[in-house]
Amino acid sequence: MDKAYNNIEFEDLTPDLEIIADVCGIEATRKLIEHASGHTYYIPKLSKLKGFCLEYVKKNKDETNFKIARNLECSTEYIVRLRKLIDNE
């Protein structure tokens, strides 16, 4: 028997799910509805992934604070703090 989830189309989605479908595709959205319905998820800004940001700053050590901050969509002050953490390792 065909699962109802397989019949969901873009036009059936709520505005939040439309964003997910635009980014991930309708099939991934169907799977999320099937397997994660009722759950609430917070998707943090890139700058909240501190471990990633530390590694990014390390790999781009020759770039300016401004450029790194723009790429990570955060403040230059945050990059300065990350650089201090790296220097103290």
Average pLDDT over residues 30-53: 94
Residue type, 84: K
Unique residue bearing structure tokens 């998820």:
41
Residue type, 88: N
Average pLDDT over residues 48-66: 97
Average pLDDT over residues 20-30: 97
Average pLDDT over residues 9-30: 96
The pLDDT of residue 2 is above 80: no
18: part of which helix (H) or strand (E)? helix 15-24
DSSP label at residue 60 = T
Q: Which is higher by pLDDT, 33 or 1? A: 33
| This prediction's pTM | 0.74
